[in-house]
Structure 1
Amino acid sequence: MPDLLEPTLTFAFEVRVEVAESIRIGRGPQEEVFFTPITGGVVRGPRLAGEVLPYGGDWSITRPDGTELDARYLLKAEDGAVIGILNRGFWRADPEVERRAMAGEPLAETEFYYRTSPMFQTDAEAHQWLTSAVFVGMAREEEGDICIRFYELA
């Protein structure tokens, strides 16, 4: 059997997303649907820098075992290129950590699972690398913002 490649992750950039208060849409007895508007933010990193545009949002479904995330928003690179992002993922934690999170207590990133699987869209030639690779997002909440570190999977 040939040697199998072990996956490696390379840090590309971090997005710090500013959000407005979530709006409860409702659903059934075992889940709740929310919409969280995205109001801006910054992009910083070795491969991409710019801003988060104040368009889009995150539709989330919260169930007893965690939250499913479906965010769609826009980034604007320093060179002016607009990049669309579809970022799906999951947030989950045990009940005690969940209670602490809801109370606004700071949490160590090792206490919860907050991961995303983004896909990017742009016709800007300088940023085509985003549209032809797989990325993994490692997310956390920090001072009311959602911070996501994006890593390219090799």
Structure 2
Amino acid sequence: MYDELLSRPDDEDRFGLRLAMRLAVTLGPDEDLGRTPDGLRRNYPISGGRLRAFAPDGVVSEGEVIGSGADISVLRDDAMAVVDALYRIRMDDGTVIVVHNKGLYDEPSFGPRGRNYLVSRPDFIAPLGAHDWLNRSFFIGTVDDWEGGVLVSVYEVLI
């Protein structure tokens, strides 16, 4: 019974991705928080930024990244960093949404495009209304450096 289930053909095309949001996040000066039992902690203060969201129904909305968030990362002994960012965004209609973005960063590992490996799992807490579609999907993200901070690209996983 198990052999038949585990021998099924690969179904990697079962998943698709749809761009759901792009955030240009500005960062303040980073802070060394010292060594802890799980590794070296560093805070990258989130100071602001702008975003554009693409709802499944085609509506495009914009907003700001509210300054006061933090990305507190842990550099583990195996040279991998665990990224843990918690911040808020305010859409141009006034809606405030909580973003909690956790990820894994491997600086020495460069992908096929010559980029660092930084993949994340953003979660959103949005009030009911125009942006509550963010509460009902699974998202993955990428994070790329730019001169003012980081560019976070968020993709909805389609099945």
Q: TM exceeds 0.5?
A: yes
SS where residue 93 of structure 2 aligns? coil
Q: Conserved in 2, the CA contact under 8 Å of 1:69 and 1:89?
A: yes
Cα distance in structure 1, aligned partners of 2:125 and 2:90: 12
Q: Conserved in 2, the CA contact under 8 Å of 1:13 and 1:49?
A: no
Segments of 5+ residues of structure 1 without an aligned counterpart are 98-107
TM-score by structure 2 length? 0.80
Q: Conserved in 1, the CA contact under 8 Å of 2:66 and 2:88?
A: yes
Q: Deviations over 1:21-64 (max 9, x none)?
A: 11111115983101111110000243342110012111100124
Q: Conserved in 2, the CA contact under 8 Å of 1:81 and 1:124?
A: no
Cα distance in structure 2, aligned partners of 1:7 and 1:61: 30
SS where residue 134 of structure 2 aligns? helix
Segments of 5+ residues of structure 2 without an aligned counterpart are 56-60
Quickly say closer, same or farther: Cα 1:22–1:38, change in 2 above 3 A. same
2:103 is matched with 89
**Which shifted more, 42-51 or 141-150?**
42-51
Quickly say closer, same or farther: Cα 1:55–1:124, change in 2 above 3 A. farther
The question of 1:127 aligning with 2:131 is answered yes
Question: What does 1:1-154 align with in structure 2 at a 5 Å threshold?
Answer: 6-28=14-36, 31-47=39-55, 48-63=61-76, 64-94=78-108, 110-154=114-158
Q: Conserved in 2, the CA contact under 8 Å of 1:26 and 1:32?
A: yes
Q: Conserved in 2, the CA contact under 8 Å of 1:16 and 1:41?
A: yes
Quickly say closer, same or farther: Cα 1:6–1:110, change in 2 above 3 A. farther
Quickly say closer, same or farther: Cα 1:93–1:124, change in 2 above 3 A. same
TM-score by structure 1 length? 0.82
Point out the structure with the larger strand share: 2
Higher Cα Rg, which structure? 2
CA RMSD of superposed structures (Å)? 2.5
Determine what percentage of the aligned residue pairs are the same residue: 28
Q: Conserved in 1, the CA contact under 8 Å of 2:38 and 2:74?
A: no
Q: Deviations over 1:96-121 (max 9, x none)?
A: x7xxxxxxxxxx95432111101101
